[in-house]
Amino acid sequence: VNLAVVAMFLLVFLIITEKMKKDVEVEVGKSLKTVLLTTQQALSSWRGNILSTTPFWADSKIIGKSTEILLKKKNLKLHQTQLRESLSTILKTHDYRGYFIVGKNGRNLASSRDGNLNVTNLLYSDQGFFRKIWSGESVLSRPIKSDDVLTGGTQVSMFSGSPIHNSSGEII
């Protein structure tokens, strides 16, 4: 009789434990789905914000005029300084680490750092990124490893790009 009571107690214990385990799994699953949906919504909102802001900056007069001058290779140092001063507030406000203006040959015409000037842009190997920009689209890159001068190491970065137009409205 005692063995039967112990066996019955063990069986009830195992059934209750299994049900509790399944209930916890269901609740964790619901929580993870909520986190996933919230994250997807936040990323979608962030992406939309980036893709609506980037063309606004690219279409600014200072960017267009400076790019035309940089393409003509005139007063390079002066225009680098002016661009950096003009964009510093935007960069700080949005917590961005820097900027590039890239020529159609893939070389950096302007950058927030001197070490990046007149070298091939690290995104140039992703021809789809620049092809879309040269065709008039604003785009967001995939996450890529990039140098981080602030930490002295590498980090994963994403870049947004938008075409810059000259005074005639052509993409330059």
For residue range 46-73, list pLDDT tens digits in order. 999 889 889 988 988 888 888 888 898 8
| The pTM of the whole model exceeds 0.85 | no
Rounded-to-integer distance, Cα 100 and Cα 109, Å: 7
**Structural contact between residues 160 and 138, judged by C-beta atoms closer than 8 angstroms:** yes
Q: Which of 107, 109, 108 is nearest to 71 (CA)?
A: 109
Q: Which of 124, 122, 146, 142 is nearest to 134 (CA)?
A: 124
For the record, the structure tokens of 26 come out as: 């269901």
* Helix, coil or strand: residue 122: coil
